[in-house]
């Protein structure tokens, strides 16, 4: 287990190195003029196109450009992200906790809901409840996130006025936040630790609509997988044996069947968390939620190479770390899995 973990950790810098070469290499497919375009917002600036290209070394050979980026990165300088108006590292420090906070609020409900509904669906196979759940799964699976987000915003914010609109906090609290001592970077937790329960509640209220959007869209696939996995387990020999021994349905389904049916959910759940930590691009954009997903989409749209690279490296780190965690968790759930 320890060797396996160490091997995985060693992979991180290698993965990042390869990724950085690929991303910077891909940018070289664009002409210097195209790479200079993001720095030009008007025809006035376009008049200085050549100067901008020269100043940024966009005509330098690829090894020179990569070397420049690499030497800066080694010194802890990932560059300036045009999309955020800040350096990459402070941008990640500012936005990643927001994304983690949204993940915390979203991931566990998604997993619990999916396990519960998937189990329910399997246990009532082909009955009305199963049919309803399957229709809902198809609905959730096929519904575009941006449509769902805008509908929820229109209904619960614009029409009913029950929940706040886009953003992270009410205006009045935006000004109060400056006085908070930050511990985690996560608004609701930091506000609670400062005794500002009003701000904590406000931050949580602002997360309801994005979280519900993500829950509806992301639960669908997991419910389907859980249902199929559960159906497979329910027809296995050991479940039949457990039933023959006279164990109650609750014990058979809950203790024996569901635990084994969870294995694919653990894998998918890991990817779900990786995806959420990587920033929910559409949801964060619709709800103006200041996570890294929103930053990435802005960086990509603006060809903000420093931003795209910073995000890519962060994502790579998250993937390696989370997939390692998932593999370890696998071993915990299923003792048959061994690491060599």
User: Where on the chain is the footprint of another protein (CB under 8 A)?
Assistant: 30-31, 33-34, 36-37, 39-52, 54-56, 80, 82-87, 91, 94-95, 98, 146-147, 150-151, 153-155, 157-159, 161, 165-168, 171-172, 174-175, 177-178, 285-288, 290, 294-295, 298, 302
Smallest separation (angstroms) from another protein to the CB of 91 = 8
Nearer to another protein by C-beta: 175 or 250?
175
Both structure tokens of 221? 């696939």
Radius of gyration of the chain (CA): 24
Core vs surface per residue 111-129: b (16+ CB within 10 A) or e: bebbbebbbbbbbeeeeee
Nearer to another protein by C-beta: 63 or 161?
161
Smallest separation (angstroms) from another protein to the CB of 179 = 10
Within the chain, what is the greatest distance between any pair of CA atoms?
A: 84
- By C-alpha distance, which of 338, 304, 329 is closest to 80? 304
Q: How many Å apart are CA 47 and CA 65, to the nearest integer?
A: 24
Nearer to another protein by C-beta: 94 or 232?
94
Smallest separation (angstroms) from another protein to the CB of 6 = 35
Both structure tokens of 254? 């809950």
Smallest separation (angstroms) from another protein to the CB of 103 = 16
Both structure tokens of 6? 């160490």
Nearer to another protein by C-beta: 56 or 134?
56
Nearer to another protein by C-beta: 141 or 157?
157
Core vs surface per residue 283-322: b (16+ CB within 10 A) or e: bbbbbebbbbbbbbbbbeebbbbbbbbbbbbbbbebbbeb
Neighbours of 216 (CB within 10 A): 20
Q: How many Å apart are CA 206 and CA 178, to the nearest integer?
A: 18
Nearer to another protein by C-beta: 167 or 254?
167
Which residues are bridge partners to 81 per DSSP?
A: 86
Smallest separation (angstroms) from another protein to the CB of 319 = 23
Smallest separation (angstroms) from another protein to the CB of 214 = 16
Q: How many Å apart are CA 24 and CA 15, to the nearest integer?
A: 14
Q: Which stretch of DSSP H or E encloses residue 308?
A: helix 305-333
Nearer to another protein by C-beta: 190 or 327?
190
Nearer to another protein by C-beta: 168 or 312?
168
Q: How many Å apart are CA 170 and CA 251, to the nearest integer?
A: 47
Both structure tokens of 104? 């915390």
Smallest separation (angstroms) from another protein to the CB of 81 = 8
- By C-alpha distance, which of 229, 312, 218 is closest to 271? 218
Smallest separation (angstroms) from another protein to the CB of 73 = 16
Smallest separation (angstroms) from another protein to the CB of 259 = 41
Nearer to another protein by C-beta: 34 or 131?
34
């Amino acid at each position: 287990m320890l060797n396996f973990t160490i091997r995985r950790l060693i992979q991180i810098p290698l993965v990042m190195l390869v990724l950085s070469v690929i991303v910077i290499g891909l940018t070289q497919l664009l002409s210097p003029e195209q790479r200079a375009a993001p720095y030009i917002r008007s025809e006035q600036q376009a008049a200085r196109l050549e100067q901008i290209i020269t100043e940024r070394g966009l005509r330098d050979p690829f090894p020179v450009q990569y070397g420049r980026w690499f030497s800066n990165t080694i010194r802890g300088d990932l560059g300036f992200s045009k999309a955020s108006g800040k350096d990459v590292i402070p941008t990640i420090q500012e936005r990643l906790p927001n994304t983690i906070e949204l993940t915390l609020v979203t991931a566990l409900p998604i997993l619990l809901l999916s396990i519960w509904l998937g189990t329910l669906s399997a246990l009532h196979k082909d009955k009305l409840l199963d049919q309803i759940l399957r229709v809902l799964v198809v609905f959730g699976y096929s519904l575009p996130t941006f449509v769902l987000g805008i509908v929820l915003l229109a209904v619960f914010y614009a029409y009913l006025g029950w929940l706040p609109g886009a953003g992270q906090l009410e205006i009045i609290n935006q000004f109060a936040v400056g006085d908070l001592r930050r511990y985690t970077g996560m608004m609701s937790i930091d506000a609670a630790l400062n005794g500002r329960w009003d701000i904590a509640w406000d931050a949580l209220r602002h997360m309801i609509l994005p979280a519900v959007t993500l829950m509806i869209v992301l639960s669908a696939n997991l419910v389907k997988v859980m249902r199929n996995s559960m159906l497979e387990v329910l027809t296995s020999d050991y479940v039949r044996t457990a039933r023959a021994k006279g164990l109650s349905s609750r014990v058979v389904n809950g203790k024996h069947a569901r635990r084994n049916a969870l294995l694919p959910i653990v894998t998918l759940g890991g990817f779900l968390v990786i995806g959420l930590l990587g920033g929910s691009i559409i949801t964060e954009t619709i709800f103006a939620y200041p996570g890294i997903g929103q930053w990435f989409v802005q960086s990509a749209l603006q060809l903000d190479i420093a931003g795209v690279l910073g995000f890519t490296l962060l994502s790579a780190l998250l993937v390696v770390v989370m997939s390692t965690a998932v593999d370890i968790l696998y071993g915990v759930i299923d003792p048959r899995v061994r690491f060599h």
